[in-house]
Structure formats: structure tokens, C-alpha cells
Structure 1
């Protein structure tokens, strides 16, 4: 080191206790009006909310892809969103991060008396679910939410909210007894959508499409299928098969724009057949080593 030079002082944040204490300290520094980051200082609950939703989806995406090497970072990004909102709230005098943690801890203890209280753990999963709902109903009543659907968050993705509304209504007996009635309702709603397409305007078409999607979510619930997971799977399948179309066209010296529907449809069918054949081969029982080919 040249004579007369000095090592720049290291920021105290580097000596802070690691983990959550350091993260909370970082956010306080970022939000400091005098010395913080101008972008972070300007943020509000509303401007940060879209990032919170995005980070939650990225966590779900990493789990869906079984990308454990990415999940740690994505969970950290989601935790940062909680810390960010809590810091904004503390500055406004609403609550702190400790208050957030205390409230959810109290809630978990209250909702698990068979673990943290004197209730027996010797009960079925169905009974535990019913007990859980009783506790949550009492919590809703304490908040003044007396209606069955009062506290189903409006800001949820529409498909998820539809599922939650249906589950909540089903708990009080407002539900079809079997999938037969749900399937009949789908046929009814599909017919009404066709009628709207042929005789009505865009607003009515949108309404009927919403009704059909709502019943489809209900069918998923009745059949024990997570509609979000099912749709993600269908999206992945479409992406995979369309990629096969692009690959086949490239081998022919073409792009999709240079092709036509008939050719691409035939390539789609070929990709579909290849996937099914591969799936059958993967699930077929192993050949008896004593037999000859």
C-alpha cells in the first residue's frame, strides 16, 4: 500500500449480526431519508405490492421446477418484501416487524391447541380441519366479519379467489353433492356463452365466460385437483409441444411465420404422439431378463 493512503472505513452494516437482524438493519438504512437509497425511500405499500406478488410467484415457480438451488434466493426475496412493508408501517406508526411476527406466532399457537394446548392430538385430519375452521370463524367474528365470505381477499388472483369462495360456501352446505351436477352446470354455462357470442355484446360475453371459468374452478375442487397446478401443467405442455413444432420447422428451414396451420397442426400431433410413446415406455414394466427379444 503506498505511504500515506488509508483503508476506507468499512460500513458498520458488515459487522452487524447476520441473518434477520442484519436484514432489518439494511432496510432501515435503505429507507433513511437522509442517507438511504432514493428509490427505496420513495416506495409505498401500493408501489411495493406488485413486487410482493411477483416474488411469491417466483417462489412457486422454483418449487414447481424443483429448483432447490434457486429456492433459497427466491424465499429471501419474498422475505425482503415482508421486511420492506413492515419498515414502511413502522415509519408510519402502524406496526413493526416484531408485531408482525408476534401476531402470526399467536395465531399459530391459537389454531393448534392440539400441539400447544391441552387438546388431544388423537383426531383425524378432517376433525383437525373442522377445528381449524371453528377457530378461524371466531377470529373473523372478533374482527367484525360475520358473513361467510367477508374476509376472502379481493386482491387474490381470480382463480384462487374463486376456489376460496367455493370452499367457504361449501362449508355451510352451499354446494353440489357430486360432480354430475357440476358437469351439467358447465354444459349450461357453455351454452349460454355460445348464445352470448351469437346474440349479445362484449360485456355479456365476458360475464358468461366468467361464469364458465368459475364453474370449471368448482369442478376442479370437486375432483380434488388444484386448478392452478393443472393450468401450470397445461401451460408447460403447450410450451413444450410448441417448442417441438419450432424445432421441426427449423429442420425444414422454416419459421412458424413461414408455415401454416395445417403443417403446424400435423407437427403438434407428432409431438403429442412422441410424448405419449415416451411416457408409455417410461411406465412399462421392465422386461423379464429370461425372455428373448
Structure 2
């Protein structure tokens, strides 16, 4: 396999993007795209990267990372056309940020412990936030944007609150909180308190579960994605066992449960 120098490969990709967006000779679809219209595709590409990692497939991961890189180049080309910034600006900005956040690597600064390094990392990030959003002291979480996945945001909110001591100290305490929130959901449903109240209590339950995951050092977004994949795999196998065609529902709960347990047993035998 012939290796292409990084700068040559990157330049080729940037030129391809320019051709796709060219007003007279480019692709009509690419010409019509905006930052907003691209965003759903970007999220899809991120999840496909996650799927490649879950499958432990290097070739697939390489392909999906290329798709994700193309999305970044796309955003940069639109920004360049509008006179905002270009790809080199993005690359230079992140390079400067990484150098700034790793003084122990790029300067003579030394840390006595990992905890000291982490504390300095957070200090540097806080300084960056204050420069980005001056006067936002009224909202301690102003830079943790609403647009990111809710599970991911819940962990970031928790980590930020933990900086001034508002945090659980033992995972067992969070387990009790999960049970408490689950009981409140059950009570709310039993008392028929309405959809809004049930939604509120379910939200509290999900937040406590996300907190438990973080306390156990489990990224909840990753955990849920893998659980979704496992459920999909198991249900497909269940359909094979029962020879379900289409969406036929002529199966008893007992038959479905037996098939489900069979699927789980098969998986255990493969471990």
C-alpha cells in the first residue's frame, strides 16, 4: 500500500470539497447544504464511528473516520465561503489548545501527581470559558450546551457541580437514590398524577442512573448504545428461533420468554 504524506492527502480532500461546492460545476446537493442541514448527518457519522469501535473493526473504523473528517471539512468550506474561518484555522486552534492544556508535555512544567495535573487542566479550561463567555457567572453551567445528548450532558453537569463538593461520595449512595427515584415513578403512576408528572419523575430516574454510571466510571452514552446493540441482536435471534415472519404477534408471552432465555443461554455458552 502506497503511503500518502499527510499534508498531500489533506490538501486533496480540501480540493475535492471545493469542487463539490463550486457554484457552476459542483454537486447540486453539496451546494445546497448549510451548517444546520449537515448537523444530523454529522451525528449519524459519529454514531457510525461508535458502531465500528463496538465491532472492533479497524477497516470499518478507518472508513467511518474518513466520513466524519469529511463532515468537518464540509463545515470549514462553508465557513470559508462566508468569510468566517477555514480548515487551517480550525487545525491551528485545536493545536494551540492542546499545547496550552498540556504544559507538562510542551513546556518544562512538572506535576507531582495526576490529581495536580487534573486540577490544572480544569483551571485552564475555566480560564478559556471565561474568555469565551464573559459575564456568564449567573449560570454556572452556561457552556454545557443544551444541544448535546441528554445523557452526556447530565454527566457533565454532575462533574461541574462536583467541583464545589456537590456530589455523591460513594456509589452505594447513588444506588439508594436510583431506588428512591424508581419508587417515586411507581407512586406517580399509581396515583395517576398525569403525563407531565410522570415524565418529570422518569427524568429524575434517568438522571440518577446517569449519575450512578458516572460514579462507576461507566460512560452512560456508550453503555446505552451497547445495550441497544445487544437488544437488537437478541431480538433478531429470538425471531429466528420462533420463525417469526414479518410482524406476526401470534405468540404467547410464555413462548417469547422461553425463546428470550434460550438466546441468553446461547450467548453464555459462547463466552
TM over 0.5: yes
User: Residue 19 of structure 1 aligns to a residue in which SS?
Assistant: helix
Query: Out of 110, 117, 125, which is 2:107 matched to?
Result: 117
Contact 1:244 1:271 in 2 (8 A): yes
Structure 1: gaps (5+ residues) = 1-16, 280-293
Across the two proteins, how many residue pairs are aligned to each other?
261
Equivalents in 2 of 1:255, 1:54: separation in Å?
A: 27
Larger radius of gyration: 1
Query: Out of 41, 47, 54, which is 1:64 matched to?
Result: 54
Normalization by structure 2: what TM-score? 0.89
Equivalents in 2 of 1:110, 1:196: separation in Å?
A: 50
Equivalents in 2 of 1:274, 1:38: separation in Å?
A: 50
Higher relative contact order (CA 8 A, sep 6+): 2
Tell me by how many angstroms 1:230 deviates.
2.1
Query: Out of 246, 250, 255, which is 1:258 matched to?
Result: 250
4+ residue runs of structure 1 moved beyond 6 angstroms?
Answer: 252-255
Q: Which residue is equivalent to 1:4?
A: none
Matched, 1:75 2:65: yes
Structure 2: gaps (5+ residues) = 1-6
Q: Which residue is equivalent to 1:233?
A: 226
Normalization by structure 1: what TM-score? 0.83
Greater displacement, 158-167 / 180-189:
180-189
Would the alpha carbon gap of residues 40 and 275 (structure 1) be closer, same or farther in structure 2, given more than 3 Å must change?
closer
Contact 1:182 1:219 in 2 (8 A): yes
Equivalents in 1 of 2:264, 2:157: separation in Å?
A: 36
Tell me by how many angstroms 1:183 deviates.
1.9
Contact 1:140 1:151 in 2 (8 A): yes
Contact 1:249 1:255 in 2 (8 A): no
Q: CA RMSD in A?
A: 2.1
Would the alpha carbon gap of residues 254 and 34 (structure 1) be closer, same or farther in structure 2, given more than 3 Å must change?
closer
Query: Out of 200, 204, 220, which is 2:213 matched to?
Result: 220
Greater displacement, 193-202 / 105-114:
193-202
